[in-house]
């Protein structure tokens, strides 16, 4: 569904590797099994952080982080990657 929608609207769907995203603290990056004390609640085990919140929201933040990291590490055609305004499609996009 998501692939269909983004294709239809001319956007780009990026898939990022997801392992560990539910175990990583999106606030400090600390990753350890057991941070997810309940299905819906993430509690960071880093004593200097202690962030807690919705586990799915935390995982989504981690996936977004991976997506942004991937962009930073993959320059387009050797040029600097410039953040484009919303709604402006790159020339190569269909």
From candidates 16, 27, 60, 66, binder to Zn ion by CB under 5 A: 27
From candidates 21, 23, 24, 25, binder to Zn ion by CB under 5 A: 25
Segment interacting with Zn ion (CB under 5 A) among 9-17, 31-39, 45-53, 57-65: 45-53
From candidates 22, 43, 51, 66, binder to Zn ion by CB under 5 A: 51
Backbone dihedral angles phi then psi of residue 68, each to the nearest 5 degrees: -70, -40
In the complex, the residues that contact Zn ion under the rule CB under 5 A are 25, 27-28, 30, 44, 46, 49, 51
């Amino acid at each position: 569904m998501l692939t269909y929608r983004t294709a239809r609207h001319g956007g780009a769907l990026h898939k990022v590797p997801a392992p560990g995203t539910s175990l990583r603290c999106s606030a400090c990056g600390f990753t350890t099994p057991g941070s997810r004390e309940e299905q819906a609640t993430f509690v960071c085990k880093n004593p200097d952080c202690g962030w807690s919140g919705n586990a799915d929201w935390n995982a989504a933040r981690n996936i977004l982080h991976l997506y942004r990291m991937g962009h930073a590490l993959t320059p387009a055609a050797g040029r600097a990657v410039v953040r484009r305004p919303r709604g402006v499609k790159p020339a190569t996009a269909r």
